[in-house]
């Protein structure tokens, strides 16, 4: 499972999302940035920033 925490991008934000692929994480995160942080224009480097902060979540069995 892939995990993205918004706090890695926007200090203080505790929103996070999980999905099984990065494309879905990016889609949800862009939506969150628009709604919660007023980012009306999502630039290409923002997408890169999101992707570089997605982590593989390892869960204990």
Binding site for Zn ion (CB under 5 A): 6, 10, 13, 15, 36
CB of 1 to Zn ion, least distance (A): 19
**Residue closer to Zn ion, measured from CB, 12 or 59:** 12
Which one, of 45, 58, 56, 59, lies nearest residue 25 by Cα?
A: 56
Shortest distance, CB of residue 13 to Zn ion, whole angstroms?
A: 3
Q: Are the CB atoms for 40 and 33 separated by under 8 Å?
A: no
Please report, in angstroms and rounded to a whole number, the separation of the first and last CA atoms in the chain.
13
Q: State which residue, 13 or 42, has the beta carbon closest to Zn ion.
A: 13
């Amino acid at each position: 499972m892939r995990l993205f925490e918004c706090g890695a991008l926007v200090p203080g934000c505790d929103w996070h999302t999980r999905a099984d692929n990065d494309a879905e994480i990016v889609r949800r995160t862009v939506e969150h940035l628009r709604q919660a942080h007023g980012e009306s224009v999502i630039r290409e480097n923002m997408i890169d920033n999101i992707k570089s902060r997605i982590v593989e979540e390892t869960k204990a069995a």
